[in-house]
Structure formats: structure tokens, C-alpha cells
Structure 1
């Protein structure tokens, strides 16, 4: 499994943003631009909270296991791998959606004289922030679930 790369996510965000900005300009020239849903930032903040709860729970269980506490619950490696994959997939989707709403928000900044457009620009901005929160929590979850490095291969063995 490969680690998340911030450059890749930023590239996805920028490409989606530019395409959304161009699409919003084109759509607005030929008709009425669809509105930004109020639920978009709510869903992404809820996803960030879910990923954060998973990361904190896994971190505390791993810490209890390392400290060999008698009440420590075991950590299922497959469940941990699934959590990491969920975090990575969520980060990729958040980068795309935040880019789309970011591009749309940039276009809406030119139309702030209408109250409805102003509200939509705020919702788009909140969605970008929520997408950034999902990406940040996905990186944290990946860090929590990272396996310790194996340093035995790098150290020379003393001659016996």
C-alpha cells in the first residue's frame, strides 16, 4: 500500500478547481449555475470526525498494547488496513470535491452582489475547508497506523 502524497492531492485539487472554474463560467454564460448544497460541508466535516475518531481509537489501543496493559484490546491488522484505505480514499475524494467547490467558489466571488450567490460562495468555501480537514485527518490516520520501520536489515552483524 502506498502512502498518501500531498503533491498528488494538491495537483488533483488544482486540476479539479480549474476545470470547475471554467465549467462554472461556461455554464453561467448559457444558463443558471446550479447551487452549492448546504449539506456538502456538513458531510465532509462528519467524515473528518469519523476518521478522527477511528484514528484516536486505534492510537489508544496501539498504545495500550505497546505498554502491555492487562485490559488492552488487540488491534486487528486487517481492520487497521481497511481504516487506512478508507482514509486514503476519503482524502482522494475530498481533494476532487474540494477542488470542484473551490473552483466554483472562485467563480462565485465575482458575483457577490447577489445574496444567494454570496451564500453559495460561503458554502463552497466551507466545503473546501472541510475537504482540507478530511485530508489532514487522513494523513494523521495513516501516521497512526504506520508499521514501525525494520532497522535490522541496515545494521551490520558483528562477526562471531
Structure 2
């Protein structure tokens, strides 16, 4: 599997933010107000990022030879989980940024200001989830095999 590109994640977050902001504005023009993020969401995202980082750290130790008891299948699953975390973080970033963009013009209202703060912090936590996903993908990177001469072969995909 190929590593996730930062440009792709940024594009996903931007598209979700723009489309989400347009949909939220449309709903609010019809007097349908969706709640913003909650603090428990921020905690859940950060907990998920911590668990993924811990799994990635185990794989890193395995690849360095410090944990020979870890299976290669677990390393592959951790890579897939890291990739999913990177994309999930990008999607959530877009969702929370969209909410911030919608409530931005009404910051003088205390409830809207609180929604903007929590959604902004949630967006930062979602960015952290994406970053952790990218870092763990790097942890799971297996060096190319060496040929008989001791030189690394080029791996083609």
C-alpha cells in the first residue's frame, strides 16, 4: 500500500469544509440549526489518536528488532488503521471547520461563540488525528529488501 499524501488530505478537508458550510448555511436559512462539536468529541478524537500512536510505536519497535513477538499481520493492520485515521481526521477537520465558518459572523452571540470555540478545538484535534495517522504510516514503513550484494533493490508498485 502507498502512503497517504498530505495534498490529498488537505483537499479532502477543504472540500468537506466548503460543502459542509454551504449545507449548514442552507439548513440555517430554513431555521434548522445543527449542534456544533461537543467536548466529548474532542476527547474521543484525542484518545483515538493516542491509541493509534501506541499501536504504531509497537510496530516501530518490531521493525527495529526490539519486539520480535509482534506479527507482521498486526503491522499491516496498524498501517491500514493509520491510513484510515489520516482520512478520518481530514474529514472531521472539514466538518468542524465548516461549522466554525457558519457561526463566524455571529460571534457576538455567546452560544454561537461557544460553538465556534469547541468546533475550532475539535478541528485542531482532528488535524492531530491526521498527523498521527501519517506518522504511524511512517512507523510501519518496511525498508526495501537487500539483494545478495548487500544493495537495496528498487521496489516497483
Unpaired segments ≥5 residues, structure 2: 146-150
Is 1:60 the counterpart of 2:55? The answer is no
Write the deviation string for residues 40-91 of structure 1: whole angstroms up to 9, x where unpaired.
222211111111111222223333x16xxxxx43221111100110111121
Q: Which residue of 2 is the match for residue 140 of structure 1?
A: 135
Whole-angstrom CA distance in 2 between matches of 1:55 and 1:131: 18
Q: Which of residues 102, 108, 113 in structure 1 aligns to 2:108? A: 113
1:32 CA drift (Å): 3.6
Q: Which residue of 2 is the match for residue 149 of structure 1?
A: 144
In the TM superposition, 1:41-52 aligns within 5 A as: 41-52=42-53
Relative to the length of structure 1, the TM-score reads 0.85
Aligned length: 148
For residue 26 of structure 2, give the secondary structure of its aligned residue in structure 1. helix
Whole-angstrom CA distance in 1 between matches of 2:86 and 2:139: 16
Is 1:90 the counterpart of 2:85? The answer is yes
RMSD: 1.6
Q: Which residue of 2 is the match for residue 73 of structure 1?
A: 68
Q: Which runs of 4+ in 1 moved over 4 A?
A: none
Question: Which of these two proteins has the greater Rg computed from alpha carbons?
Answer: 1
Q: Which residue of 1 is the match for residue 148 of structure 2?
A: none
Residue pair 1:91, 1:134 contacting (<8 A) in 2 also = yes
1:115 CA drift (Å): 1.2
1:11 CA drift (Å): 0.5
Whole-angstrom CA distance in 2 between matches of 1:12 and 1:137: 17
